[in-house]
Every structure is written in structure tokens, then in C-alpha cells.
Structure 1
Amino acid sequence: MNLENYFISQFKSANIGDDGAFIDGMVYSKDAFFENIHFKTSWMSHYQIGYKSIMVNISDAVAMNATPKYALLSVAMPKDITKSQMRDLAKGFQDACAKYGVDIIGGDTISNIKLDITVTIVSKSNKPLMRKGLKRGDLIAYSGTLGKSAKELKKLMNLGKIHKNSKFVNIFLRDKFIYNNRRFLRVGMDISDGIFSDLQKLSLASGVGFRFYKKIQKRVGCSGEEYEMLFGFDRRFKKTLLRRAKLTKTPINIIAECVRKAYTNRCKSHHFNKN
């Protein structure tokens, strides 16, 4: 068990284990976006930082088939941040929230040695999409393409530059696909820690393993912060989902089927990396 899973295991609640907690028709989710962990200010403008910090949190709502309604922001800012940077940061928050009709209702601001952001999203769902529920024979798929986020991060770490529309900076969510096809999906989650690590979460939740149809390279399987959708469904809906995915221009990649066997994650933990 890695350190993240060990820490989470200390809390005993039936509401822990998904992208958010579903309680009385509402989904509550929260993620951190910290300088020198998730980004560097030399990589992204303050507007881009604010925008992405909201989008990665809305991603959790989308992944659970929930409509985001409200946001609470906690922002720790360095003392040398300028008023112009503050305005850009706030504009990033506001534009991302406006895109999904989210109302910023409060939060907290404190002084810090660097820029650290924590966002809570409150969403509504009549039929949430959970991680538990896979059955043997179900198919596993993901949307879009994987591997670009890690490739672009490596470029930034080597002092290179990436395009302003790079997936690392400007993520694209699959909300229309999820909202339109929830009734055909058994389980789902967003790919934030790499597909190999996130498959482990589905495996543990449902007690199944996977038989892969083709090999996925480790550099692709361990690429985090992709924010594509990982989902499972009854194989009877394969043709239906492939056909309906075209309506929202969502590329679908069917990679495995669920079987009775152990699953081994080939990636190191992103959250407790010793490097």
C-alpha cells in the first residue's frame, strides 16, 4: 500500500472512495493545486493557473455525472504577488466557473511563501457515476489520447516551452459525453494519476482485474493530469457507445475487459514522489 492509500485508509466513511462524496443528491469534491507540486509560475501565467485550478476540480464533478453549482476557494499567496497578478488569477477563476455556470460563494485567503490553491466544488446529481460496480466481462475504455501531459511536463522541466493551448495548461473535459451517456456506463472516473494508477482504483473498488487487448506503454500509462475519462460498461452497449460518442466528437479507446485476476499498478505514486 502506498502512502496516499495508507493515509486515506485511516478514515472510515462509506462516502470516501470516489472522485467526490455523494450525499443527499449532492456531490462534494476538493482538490489542491500547489506551486512547485502541480505547477511553477514560470510555466503558466496567473490567469492560466487560476483557470486550470478550477477546471481540474470541475473534472471530478463531470466524472461523477454531476452538474457543478458552487465553488469555495482557499488561496495562499506569496507577499510579493502583484495586484496585476491577483487580478489575472481572479479572472482565471471567474472564467472557468462561468464556463460551467458555477457560482463562487466564498473561501479564504492567507499569506504564504508560494501560491497554493485549494478548491471545493459542490455539484448536483440524480444518478452519480461511481467507481464501484464492474462485473466480469465488462469492457474498459478511455476517452481521447493519453501521454501528452507527461511529455509536456518533461519539456517544461527541461526549461522548454509549450503552446498556450497545450493539454498541460488548457484541459478539455468530456462533460457532454458523460451527461448524454450515463445510462450506458457502469463505472467512471477522470484520469488524474495516470491510467495505470486509476485502473487500480477501479480494480480495488469492484474486486476485478483486467485482460488488456494491447500493450500500453508505461510512459503513457503513468502520464498523470490527463483529465480524460476512464469508464467501464456492459459489452452489450459497445456499438451504442461508439456510435453515440461520435455525436459529441469523443474518441473512445476500448482497452480491456474485466476478469477474475489480480491487477498490478506499474506506476509510482504521484502524490508522494520521493524525487
Structure 2
Amino acid sequence: MDKEQFIINAFLNSINGDDGAIVDNWCFSKDLFFENVHFKRSWMSLEQIASKALLINISDAIVMNAKPKYALLGLALPKNLSKAEIKALQKGFLNTAKKFNIKIIGGDTISNHKIDISITLISEIFKKPVFRKGLKIGDLLAFSGNLGQSLKGLELLQQGKKLSPNHRFIKPKIRKDFFYEIAQKLSCAMDISDGLSKDLSRLLKINNLGISWYKNLNSYELYSGEEYEILFAFNPKYENFIKQCAKKHKVKLNIFGQAVKGKYEFVGKEHHF
């Protein structure tokens, strides 16, 4: 058992263990975005850092079929950060929150030697939540968009190169309109934050199933983290409907396998510890 799962197991109950926790008609989720773990200051502007920190939280809410309403910010910031730099962070949070109709309602700040951001998002369920659990034998497994660009971008940054402001590593694409339209036809879903292979192993493990592959995916498609595309499954009878929705929202649909009896073991580098 990896240490992440060891920690999670200490707090297991009927509510946690998904992208967010569902309580009544609300979804509560949290993500961390830490300097020198998720980003370097030389890679992104302060506005981009704040925006991405919020976007990765929004991604968790959307795949639960929830609409983000409120956010709590935890900010650990260096003492030498100027007011202009703090305003840049504020701009990133506020502009992204406005785009998704989110109200920032509080939080906490402390002094730190680097920028560490913790966000709690409170979201309202749209009709019914979508969980990681619910996969059935015969369901088709799919993901949205193109995978691999985030890892390629990270490699360029590590070589000292710069990325376009619209690069996926800087600005994740959130497929909210597409997902909300297909949500009620899905068996299960989660966002791809730790790479398709790792997140697929989580999805299949919680459902005690394996996969029959339809496609040979390359290492970038399998192992690129921080993609924030959607991994989901559905009964084959909904295939035409989902294809039509993908076309309507101009989202690339990749049906890459089918759920079968068995299990799937992740083999690769852990993104956590």
C-alpha cells in the first residue's frame, strides 16, 4: 500500500474516497497547489498560478456533476511578496471565480517561505451526483480531449523553455458544458490528475473490474499528469448520444476500452508518495 492510500484508509467512511464528498445536495472538495511541488515561480505568472489552483479544484466538482458556488482560500505567502504581486494573485483568483460564478467567502493566510495554496470548494449537485463507483461489466471506457500535452509541457519547462499562456500545463481545459449534458448517462467518472493509467487503476479497483483495451495508447497518453480531462464510462446504448454531445461541444471523444472481469495494476511512477 502506498502512503497516500495508507493516509486515506485512516479516514474511510461512506462519504469520502471520491473527487468530492457529497453531503445532502452539496459537494465539498479540496486541492493543494504548492510551490516547488506543482509549480515553480519561474514557470508561471502569479496570476496564472492562482487561476490554475482554482481550476484544478473546479475540475473535481464538475466530475461529481456539481456546480461550484463558494470557495475558501488558504494562502501561505512569503513576507517579501509585494502588494503588486499579491494583487496579481488576487486577480487570478477573482477572474477565474467570476468565470465560473463562484463567490470567495473566506479562508486563512499565513507567512511562509514559499507560495502554498489550499482551496476548499463548495458546490451544488446538479440533479444527481456522479461517483467513481458504478462501473458495470460491458460499460465503455472513455476520456475527453488529447492526453500527453501536460507532461510534454513540463519537460520543456524543466529544460528552461517557456510555454504559451494557453498551454494545458498553464491553463487546464475544463469541459463543464459537455460533462453536465452527458452526466446522467454515465456509470462513473473522475478527472485525470495523476495520469490516465494511475487514475484508471483507481476507477477499476473501486469497482473490482478490469479492462479490455480497444486502443494502444503511448506513454504520454498513459502517464501525463495534470491533464484535467475526464475519464468516464457508460452503457453502450448511450454511445451515439455521447458522441453527438462531444460533437456539439467540440470535444474529442476517445473510447479506449470496455469493462470486464479482472483487475488492472498500475505500473509507473507515483505522483504522490
Shorter-normalised TM-score: what interval?
over 0.9
Equivalent position of 1:15 in the other structure? 15
Q: Counterparts of 1:236 and 1:267 in 2: how far apart (Å)? A: 34
Secondary structure of 2:68's counterpart equals: strand
Equivalent position of 1:70 in the other structure? 70
Aligned residues: 272
2:173 is aligned with what amino acid?
F
More moved, 45-54 vs 237-246: 237-246
Equivalent position of 1:98 in the other structure? 98
Q: Counterparts of 1:218 and 1:13 in 2: how far apart (Å)? A: 34
Q: CA deviation at 1:71?
A: 0.1
Q: CA deviation at 1:266?
A: 2.1
Q: Counterparts of 1:50 and 1:16 in 2: how far apart (Å)? A: 26
Counterparts of residues 126-141 of structure 1 (less than 5 Å): 126-141=127-142
Equivalent position of 2:118 in the other structure? 118
TM-score, structure 1 as length reference: 0.97
Secondary structure of 1:186's counterpart equals: strand
1:115 is aligned with what amino acid?
I
| Equivalent residues of 2:205, 2:263 under 8 A apart | no
Cα deviations across residues 157-203 of structure 1 (Å, max 9, x unaligned)? 11111111111001110100111111211101110010001101111
- Superposed CA RMSD in Å reads 0.8
Equivalent position of 2:217 in the other structure? 216
TM-score, structure 2 as length reference: 0.98
Equivalent position of 2:158 in the other structure? 157
Q: Identify unmatched segments of 5+ residues in structure 1.
A: none
Alignment partner of 1:60 is 2:60: yes
1:87 is aligned with what amino acid?
K
Q: Counterparts of 1:173 and 1:253 in 2: how far apart (Å)? A: 16
Q: Counterparts of 1:53 and 1:266 in 2: how far apart (Å)? A: 28
Q: Counterparts of 1:29 and 1:269 in 2: how far apart (Å)? A: 22
Secondary structure of 1:264's counterpart equals: coil
Secondary structure of 1:22's counterpart equals: strand
Equivalent position of 1:29 in the other structure? 29
Identity, % of aligned pairs? 45
1:59 is aligned with what amino acid?
S
1:134 is aligned with what amino acid?
L
Cα deviations across residues 74-133 of structure 1 (Å, max 9, x unaligned)? 000011111111000001000110001000000000000000000000001031110001
Q: Counterparts of 2:101 and 2:200 in 1: how far apart (Å)? A: 31
Q: Counterparts of 2:67 and 2:241 in 1: how far apart (Å)? A: 24
Q: Counterparts of 1:164 and 1:242 in 2: how far apart (Å)? A: 30
Equivalent position of 2:85 in the other structure? 85
Q: Counterparts of 1:155 and 1:265 in 2: how far apart (Å)? A: 26
Equivalent position of 1:252 in the other structure? 253
Q: CA deviation at 1:19?
A: 0.4
Q: CA deviation at 1:268?
A: 1.8
Q: Counterparts of 2:36 and 2:60 in 1: how far apart (Å)? A: 22
Q: Counterparts of 1:92 and 1:183 in 2: how far apart (Å)? A: 32
Q: Counterparts of 2:188 and 2:262 in 1: how far apart (Å)? A: 19
Counterparts of residues 159-238 of structure 1 (less than 5 Å): 159-238=160-239
Secondary structure of 1:155's counterpart equals: helix
Secondary structure of 1:121's counterpart equals: strand
Superposition misfits of 4+ residues, deviation over 3 angstroms: none
1:144 is aligned with what amino acid?
G
Q: CA deviation at 1:219?
A: 2.8
Counterparts of residues 30-49 of structure 1 (less than 5 Å): 30-49=30-49
Q: Counterparts of 1:51 and 1:267 in 2: how far apart (Å)? A: 29
Secondary structure of 1:98's counterpart equals: helix
Secondary structure of 1:31's counterpart equals: strand
| Equivalent residues of 2:212, 2:260 under 8 A apart | yes
| Equivalent residues of 1:218, 1:266 under 8 A apart | no
